[in-house]
Amino acid sequence: MLTAEQESALDSAVHAYLVSKGYSSAASSLLSESPSFSSASSPPPPPPASEVPLLCRKWVTVARLQKKVMELEASLKASSSAPSAPAPSAGGRLLPVDSPTPLSCPGHAGAVTCASLHPSQTICASSSEDATVKLWDCESGDFQRTLKGHTAAVTCVCWSPDGSLLASASSDLTVKLWSPTDDYACKRTLRGHEHVVSSCLFLSAGSLASASRDGTVKLWSPASGFVLHEFRREGWVRCLAATHDGGVMAAGDAGGEIAVYDVAAKAERACVSAHETVVEAVAFPPLPPASSTPASPTLLASASRDKTVKLWSLASGSLSLSPLHVFSCHENWVRALSFHRSGAYLLSVSDDRSLRVLDVKNKRALRTFEDAHPHFVQALAVGVRTPVVVTGGVDNLLKFWKCR
């Protein structure tokens, strides 16, 4: 059964579809007979251009999910009548990434530099050296659309916490904000950096951070486009990460240092010499552990061109960093990393062409996908609500892996 709100949304979508196809009599009948419209003082406004394709995609998604349910039911029936096989494990634990061949999605004309998953929908955004941002259905791997506007390589892409905005950073010195509710129109272009913008990150719906080769980290208001604050570093700031509440931000730079900022106080709280060379990525867990308290330390992970992934403990009050462990399993530059949604695993990709799963608690490598891509792998996204891992590489490919 559908709720009243769901029935109203469905009736509105069907009406929009009928109007777009020119079925005026059917649309009029729906207006007169549907309880969703009978109480309205006036007929609904003409549908936006993006609504009808959205309805079509939803029906396709429903059909795909029905097919998936049928496949799972058949698999369950077959497994119940056959001897049980051991599940893939490491020390009795299920691994977060399954091993079947991932969906491989060509489309970009240049290396994939970054990937970001929508916080609530099955949409993945990818950025590339071809100066575009592309949108994909991360369940089917279907291409949806291309966003054009940048004039040089797009280095980073990220969603706002509520999914109402998509931000992209570029070597053209700008950050662009795209609106999904307005057919992905570019709503604003943020200008102010004096060199390549290497990373962007939403701290909240009302605050965006960007890092640049000009040695600055800027905090922006997405609504006004104004700079709220600026942090200065001595060299190229390569990457950014923030805690789940956006209260603490970490920045890695080309000199191997990691700086930690108190966002509310707009102050630098710690700076450590973390790696021997460029810090390519930093990451916080997506959510705090269930057993954590306000006084519990927070984990921070960093990846570098020195071929290592490091774990750090971030003190809750002073925001000081203490080293916990060094993973030295990669054979080349480590380009991106992300925590699994459980917080128990850390995933990393590298120029050694591999995707690796690291056990945070036991501090060991659990699994290696040796040839995740045929060339350098430099983009990684792990779903928090969507069970998928996304990788992108210099081979211009985006790949979607099943995730537990």
Tens of pLDDT, residue by residue over 36-88, are 776 655 556 655 555 555 556 556 566 666 766 776 677 676 666 544 433 34
Judged on CB neighbours under 10 Å (0-12, 13-18, 19+), 318 is exposed
**CATH number of the domain to which 313 belongs:** 2.130.10.10
Q: Is residue 353 part of a domain?
A: yes
Query: Do 356 and 248 share a structural domain?
Result: yes
Q: Is residue 89 part of a domain?
A: no
The whole-number average pLDDT for the span 230-238 is: 95
Distance (Å, whole) CA 67 – CA 244: 35
Which of the pair, 201 or 342, is modelled with greater confidence?
201
The whole-number average pLDDT for the span 122-141 is: 96
Q: Is residue 299 part of a domain?
A: yes
Judge whether 346 and 285 are in contact, CB under 8 Å.
no
Of the pLDDT bands very low, low, confident and very high (cuts 50, 70, 90), residue 318 is confident
Q: What is the pTM of this model?
A: 0.78
Query: Do 139 and 16 share a structural domain?
Result: no
Query: Do 237 and 151 share a structural domain?
Result: yes
Q: Provide the pLDDT for residue 296.
A: 74
Q: What is the mean pLDDT of the chain?
A: 87
Domain end position, chosen among 49, 80, 111? 80
Report the 10 Å Cβ neighbour count for 371.
12
pLDDT 10s digits, 140-161: 999 999 999 999 999 999 999 9
Query: Do 253 and 164 share a structural domain?
Result: yes
Q: Is residue 86 part of a domain?
A: no
**Considering only 41-55, 177-191, 275-289, 334-348, which range has the smallest mean pLDDT?**
41-55
Distance (Å, whole) CA 28 – CA 23: 9
The backbone torsions φ and ψ at residue 145, rounded to the nearest 5 degrees and listed phi first, read -165, 165
Distance (Å, whole) CA 189 – CA 123: 23
Q: What tokens appear for 3 in the block?
A: 């709720």
The whole-number average pLDDT for the span 112-123 is: 96
Of the pLDDT bands very low, low, confident and very high (cuts 50, 70, 90), residue 92 is very low
Residue 208 has pLDDT above 70, yes or no: yes
Q: Provide the pLDDT for residue 16.
A: 82
Q: Provide the pLDDT for residue 93.
A: 42
Q: Provide the pLDDT for residue 242.
A: 96
Report the 10 Å Cβ neighbour count for 336.
24
Domain hosting 70: range is: 1-80
Query: Do 120 and 161 share a structural domain?
Result: yes
Q: Is residue 337 part of a domain?
A: yes
Query: Do 356 and 237 share a structural domain?
Result: yes
**CATH number of the domain to which 11 belongs:** 1.20.960
Q: How many domains does the chain have?
A: 2
Q: Provide the pLDDT for residue 95.
A: 54
Query: Do 244 and 129 share a structural domain?
Result: yes
Domain end position, chosen among 55, 80, 105? 80
Of the pLDDT bands very low, low, confident and very high (cuts 50, 70, 90), residue 32 is confident
Domain end position, chosen among 56, 80, 104? 80
Query: Do 72 and 110 share a structural domain?
Result: no
Q: Is residue 274 part of a domain?
A: yes
